[in-house]
Structure 1
Amino acid sequence: MAEYRLQGLSCANCARELEEEIQKLNHGENAKILFNSSKLIVSDDIALNKVEKILAGDGASILKRDEDAHDHNHDHGAGSKLLFLIGASALLYILAMVFEKSMPGWMAVVLYLAGAALSGYATFLKGLKNLFKLKFNIDTLMTIALIGAFGIGEWKEGTLVAILFGINEYLEGLGMNKARKSMETLLDAAPKKAIVLKGGQEKVLPVGELKTDDIVLVKSGQKIPSDGVVVEGRSSVNEAAITGESMPVDKMTGEPVFGGSINNEGVLKVRITKSYDDSSLAKILHLVEEAQETKTPTEQFINKFAKYYTPLIMGVAAVVMVVPPFFGGDWGSWFYQGLAVLIVGCPCALIISSPIAIISGITRNARNGILVKGGVFLEQLGHIETVAFDKTGTLTKGEPHVEKVISYYKEEFLIAAGSIERSSSHPLAKAVMKEVEKHGISLEEPADITTIPGQGVEAAVSGKLYRLGNEAIIPSAAIDEKIQADIDQLKNAGYTLVAVSDDSRVLGLFGIADEIRPESKAVIQHLYKAGVKKAIMLTGDHEKTAKKVAEAVGLTDFHANLLPDQKVEKINDLIHERKTAMVGDGINDAPALAVADLGIAMGKGTDSAIETADIVLMQDHLGKLPSAIKIAKRVNAVIKLNISLALGLKLIALLLTIPGLLTLWIAILSDMGATILVTLISLTILIDKSSASVHSN
């Protein structure tokens, strides 16, 4: 399949009709026109000259390769040309209207016709072609209305209709281009060039030519060209393009970096671990572009409705023209009313009531580091009432953390614990070391380290034997009532116990738990405020630990000791009650994520997270989840309001036909007014009022 950039697409409905025509060509059955991103996807075997001919019939064209990088300038140029023509039309219209009584009648007619031709010739030509093909769309309706108006001598109103329709098309294009520009700004995060080090020489290459294990030089202010690992240097890096977080992240040798992130200061040498096409940023941008084109149930309904709507309006217009004169009505005035009905029937505002809002919502979330894979998922997110969370790595950090320390012989306890654990890579050992390091104690090198299966380790520190491990490693003689009470207290609180003792004494106890994310409690509260009715936890951890986390973060309910298939059963129960989202890490929770109405994955750019879920929280924390739900609810509300306005204004205009008050200019103003309102309301979604993450105090 080949992909081309397009210019001159006038409306979503026209794009759909062009797509249908191209699909009738040989090898064209899989052709797609992506209106929102102005792209054409066709088979390599299709006759491109025939495709270009079809596009030209609607004023669209394929951008040449050398124009591709500057296609936004062409869009701007096309808009400027239309605006100039509208201005010239308006000037001719004003001249004709002002000097109508002082000039010959034929001269005024010429000025009116010239004014109508300048702003409406493209619509008129397309409409005539459609009329001969018996194809009825917006252009056909406008052409019939203009021919009818001029046919009955309504030169002034016919010209005004042409001018107002031109303004309407300009504003509609302006709104869609604004939404596209916001998406293009996001896509500009993609780096274009890379400085590759080869044989001690610096060579500038396009990022597409980068290979795995290439070493690239990233200077201050430059974008990191693809995912990699720092091999030399130290700097802070802005990862906003990936995670939506503006706070810089310190990077040093051995740490991973994402393509598209910006090196703030210093110089980094990075070993490329993925070609650009496989990088996190490339996948994100590809998915965001795809997401624009997925149709929500609402959009699908509107598109189906529009197919029948236009012929229906033509039928209504015919009835208005023909029926009243049979009952004594004036033929001329009712014919005029019928023409006005045709103009009211233009479905422009209805068709754009959803796409601009959807693009704006997806873009807003993408800016915040929330990857929504399609409009259908954005719409679904706005209906979610239950959110089920995995525990480990979602509500908690997924890393052991010393939460409680009970020391009986503090200094000896910490020296023994730190000395034994200093060389261990076990997660519990790392947690113990973090706690010991807080106290700045000098440690010794352990000797004679022996592992005791199922219990822990013992080792000599400064010539004395110490034991470190679970409760079983403590000599029974060393446990008195107080120590036993402390052990029971830690276990009952859901902590993992790490004890340190010698042959006769217990030196101290560590209570270790998976550290709760600092934002989790605040996030849950904000979810309730955003309209979520139930927040629960599904975990494979034991009951006491689960209860402790659930109470700490303020969950509605929790279920512990669950195997993956049992999580799926719980999700199935929940989705029968309410619309349910599952939030997990994108790997272990894949079955539950798939079964839920909406799967939301945690994952700081990890491939598995991006591929598994419907929505990905690229920050790898929950902070912006409430914001995402609010944006989704706002998008849904805006779409409903847009549809109501689009249909409501048309209904009011149609009702004016009953007393015979509907005029051509009122008809076009009703459609233009709806288009302007729908566009402006949709673009307000892009206004960023509350994109900050939720943090705990």
Structure 2
Amino acid sequence: MTTTTPTKQEYRLQNLSCASCAAKFEKNVKAIPKVQDAQVNFGASKITVIGDISVDQIEEAGAFDGIKVSQSPTRSLEKSIPFYRKTENILAGISLLFVVLGYIFGAWRGETDPLPIGMFIIAILVGGMGIFKTGFRNLVKFEFDMKTLMTIAVIGAAIIGEWEEAAVVVFLFAVSEALEAYSMDKARQSIRQLMDIAPPTATIKRAHGEHFHEMELPTEQIEIGDILIVKPGQKIAMDGIVINGLSAVNQAAITGESIPVNKTIDDEVFAGTLNEEGALEIRVTKRVEDTTIAKIIHLVEEAQAEKAPSQQFVDRFAKYYTPAIMIVALLVAVIPPLFVGDWQHWIYQGLAVLVVGCPCALVVSTPVAIVTAIGNAARQGVLIKGGIHLEQLGHIEAVAFDKTGTLTKGQPAVTDIYTAEELSQDYVLQLVAAVEKQSQHPLAKAILKKLHDEKLTELIPTDFQSVTGKGAYATVDKQIIYVGSLKWIATLAAVDEKITEQVKKLQKQGKTVVAAVSNDRFIGMIGIADQLRQESKDVLSKLSALKVKHTVMLTGDAEPTAQAIATSLNMTDVRASLLPADKLMAIKDLRTEFGAVAMVGDGVNDAPALASANVGIAMGGAGADAALETADIALMGDDLTKLPYTIGLSRKTLRIIKENIIFALALKLIALLLVIPGWLTLWIAIFADMGATLLVVFNSLRLIKTKK
């Protein structure tokens, strides 16, 4: 007997208006027969369903909120309906018209006249029909959300003859919902902008027999191996390798780099980047769903779905908060009139408590801030893979750095050239470069780069031989040139004490020495070192300004090399000659000493340490799948200056979340205290609820402006 695996499908949602609506929608979908599980991503406005289900069934589950569902590909997104064209907003406008008419007729014919009351009733029905439908349905099921509380409050107000206030409350509630939906849409634009980065179609050349045919295709139909033709000013539609052409490519959309990068044959390019100058031909290496931008979009959306600790706390709190408010409202409506009479006044007060006690502002306080911060970071070239990592980064007390490729460029360069007195530096460099030309060693590449930078002529070597573990030799310019470690070179020619002292001096500075002999005569030596990133020192001082207590270098390099780099950076804690397992132990020790620790590395060699740290941060995530997978945060453009920005953003997010929770609870508490003297009105209640929600949302949107 064979069992079929249940299908997992993602659907895009429109009109998902609030966090509590999202929770209810998820519950409704889970209740559908044949659905095994469902998860709503409020920030990304989508739902993932495991099971057999149709779009109609999902829309039926979200009918209470007017949710529309589309099974669109990850890259595309339906354009949002303008604010003024949304049905609920039009109805709110009509409701306002009848409220105004009610006041005009009330002033003319008196508040108790049937005409103004009729206007207020029309305003209530037009503006509140959607609210009441959901409210009654929830009431039958004993589900108490804001719409249920509003329905009870409006019906209660109508029963005790407060038609005017009931109409105004319905209108204000409609306005608050419209503004909340608008601001959430603003927060979601970070994903919408990411989705719009890569063009939906592209011109390609595809082989047909012996000939190539040019055609324009949707990116979903482009295959690996197709040749992409990109003209100046066009966006690159797919990830690939340049096979023809030279151009400057603006990669800001992927890496956050503001300066265009020169691309030539064999260079990697990414979908969504802008070709600025020359024409390029690019061999496609990834399908549209596997491109770097597609992965970024997916990871940003998943990050927004993952609940941060503060959000989990708020969700748990709201679960008990709403029933507690209902009990308080009931007590306010029943207890005081037993002693002082005036049932109508205290029932009215109880209804106002119901409205003011709605947990909307509290529920939305965290997700809006998280969604906005993660979206902002993605636009700056920083990929944060979850609200939990964003929050943890805000608590970091110590940061550990890998050396090579993180604090340094990871590319050795020639720093010193010493020669026998009668020989020029240029000639010795040419001789050594001729031997090293045949080698694949990183030090050889540094020597050849120096030769090309100095625009010197390449000499031709013959009879090249490599000596394992020692060096190499070849015939160059009619002499046998030996190049290698000083220990080996010293066995081939006399090396005086002055040269030995100079070598020790270079090694103390963390430099590697390559020595050279011509036939049997010492001719010179070259000092090579990994180059410090220009920004490293500035980054460390910014971390100190951000109150990061401790920074440490963890490296596999020898002590002198590590110490030399640390000295130039004014770092006091250096741990050298570490294997991956040693780095892991070092992180565990740091966690014991400081609590929360971040590790910054290249995402491949440092995987165990990255995983063990509270927050693992990978350098250069663009195009590096390992970095995207192993780290909690990826700095896409290999730019260390984004580290202080990211820590600053996380701390600002934590501060805003705390402010939001305080705003949400304080405003409601102040309004609830007005019950004691009996001053709370439905107007004040709805303003307190609406004010708290809008304050929280607009406070969160300040994170959009956070820049590097």
Instruction: Please indicate, yes or no, whether the TM-score normalized by the shorter chain is above 0.5.
Output: yes
- Residue among 518, 521, 532 paired with 2:534: 518
- Which amino acid is the alignment partner of residue 183 of structure 1? I
Please name the residue that 2:525 is paired with: 509
- Which amino acid is the alignment partner of residue 666 of structure 1? I
- Residue among 336, 343, 346 paired with 2:358: 346
1:128/1:492 CA distance change after superposition, 3 Å: same
The 3-state SS of whatever aligns with 1:32 is strand
1:179–1:356 CA contact under 8 A, matched in 2:
yes
1:425 aligns with 2:440: yes
Please name the residue that 1:658 is paired with: 676
1:31 aligns with 2:41: no
For residues 20 and 701 of structure 2, the distance between their equivalents in structure 1, rounded to whole angstroms, comes to 20
For residues 131 and 213 of structure 1, the distance between their equivalents in structure 2, rounded to whole angstroms, comes to 59
Q: Give the CA deviation at 1:676.
A: 1.5
Q: Give the CA deviation at 1:280.
A: 1.5
1:665/1:630 CA distance change after superposition, 3 Å: same
Deviations 1:85-136 (A, max 9, x none): 2222222212211221433711111101111222222111111111111111
Please name the residue that 1:462 is paired with: 477
For residues 278 and 182 of structure 1, the distance between their equivalents in structure 2, rounded to whole angstroms, comes to 20
1:91-490 correspondence to structure 2 within 5 Å: 91-103=97-109, 105-198=113-206, 199-408=211-420, 409-410=423-424, 411-475=426-490, 478-490=494-506
1:586 aligns with 2:594: no
1:515/1:64 CA distance change after superposition, 3 Å: closer
- Which amino acid is the alignment partner of residue 35 of structure 2? G
- Residue among 58, 65, 68 paired with 2:65: 58
Please name the residue that 2:5 is paired with: none
Q: Give the CA deviation at 1:53.
A: 2.2
Q: Give the CA deviation at 1:47.
A: 5.3
- Which amino acid is the alignment partner of residue 450 of structure 1? Q
Please name the residue that 1:571 is paired with: 587
The 3-state SS of whatever aligns with 2:466 is strand
- Residue among 609, 612, 615 paired with 1:598: 615
1:219–1:268 CA contact under 8 A, matched in 2:
yes
Deviations 1:10-57 (A, max 9, x none): 211111012112212222231122222221222351355443322113
For residues 118 and 303 of structure 2, the distance between their equivalents in structure 1, rounded to whole angstroms, comes to 49
Deviates more, 1:27-36 or 1:319-328: 27-36
2:438–2:464 CA contact under 8 A, matched in 1:
no
- Which amino acid is the alignment partner of residue 170 of structure 2? A
Q: Give the CA deviation at 1:593.
A: 0.7
- Which amino acid is the alignment partner of residue 689 of structure 2? D
- Which amino acid is the alignment partner of residue 528 of structure 1? S
For residues 357 and 514 of structure 2, the distance between their equivalents in structure 1, rounded to whole angstroms, comes to 75
Consecutive unaligned residues of structure 1, counting only runs of 5 or more, are 692-697
The 3-state SS of whatever aligns with 2:242 is strand
- Residue among 557, 567, 574 paired with 1:551: 567
For residues 492 and 236 of structure 1, the distance between their equivalents in structure 2, rounded to whole angstroms, comes to 40
Deviations 1:206-252 (A, max 9, x none): 11122221111112222222221111111111111210112111111
The 3-state SS of whatever aligns with 2:514 is strand
For residues 610 and 70 of structure 1, the distance between their equivalents in structure 2, rounded to whole angstroms, comes to 24
The 3-state SS of whatever aligns with 1:308 is helix
1:230–1:271 CA contact under 8 A, matched in 2:
yes
1:432/1:563 CA distance change after superposition, 3 Å: same
1:2/1:466 CA distance change after superposition, 3 Å: closer
For residues 14 and 475 of structure 1, the distance between their equivalents in structure 2, rounded to whole angstroms, comes to 78
The 3-state SS of whatever aligns with 2:272 is coil
Report the TM-score when normalising by structure 1.
0.95
Q: Give the CA deviation at 1:255.
A: 1.4
Q: Aligned Cα RMSD in Å? A: 2.0
Deviations 1:475-510 (A, max 9, x none): 465322211211121122221110122245432221
Consecutive unaligned residues of structure 2, counting only runs of 5 or more, are 1-7
For residues 275 and 390 of structure 1, the distance between their equivalents in structure 2, rounded to whole angstroms, comes to 33
1:459–1:466 CA contact under 8 A, matched in 2:
yes
For residues 501 and 79 of structure 1, the distance between their equivalents in structure 2, rounded to whole angstroms, comes to 82
For residues 450 and 73 of structure 1, the distance between their equivalents in structure 2, rounded to whole angstroms, comes to 68
Deviates more, 1:161-170 or 1:29-38: 29-38
2:306–2:386 CA contact under 8 A, matched in 1:
yes
The 3-state SS of whatever aligns with 2:139 is helix
Deviates more, 1:531-540 or 1:429-438: 429-438
The 3-state SS of whatever aligns with 1:29 is strand
- Residue among 17, 25, 31 paired with 1:18: 25
- Residue among 614, 617, 622 paired with 2:632: 614
Deviations 1:509-559 (A, max 9, x none): 211122212211111111111221111111111111111111222324111
Deviates more, 1:84-93 or 1:582-591: 84-93
- Residue among 647, 656, 659 paired with 1:641: 659
The 3-state SS of whatever aligns with 1:31 is strand
1:190–1:282 CA contact under 8 A, matched in 2:
no
The 3-state SS of whatever aligns with 1:444 is coil
- Which amino acid is the alignment partner of residue 45 of structure 2? S
For residues 335 and 556 of structure 1, the distance between their equivalents in structure 2, rounded to whole angstroms, comes to 68
For residues 520 and 10 of structure 2, the distance between their equivalents in structure 1, rounded to whole angstroms, comes to 76
Please name the residue that 1:695 is paired with: none
In the comparison of the two structures, how many residue pairs are matched? 689
1:582–1:598 CA contact under 8 A, matched in 2:
yes
- Which amino acid is the alignment partner of residue 578 of structure 1? G
The 3-state SS of whatever aligns with 1:259 is coil
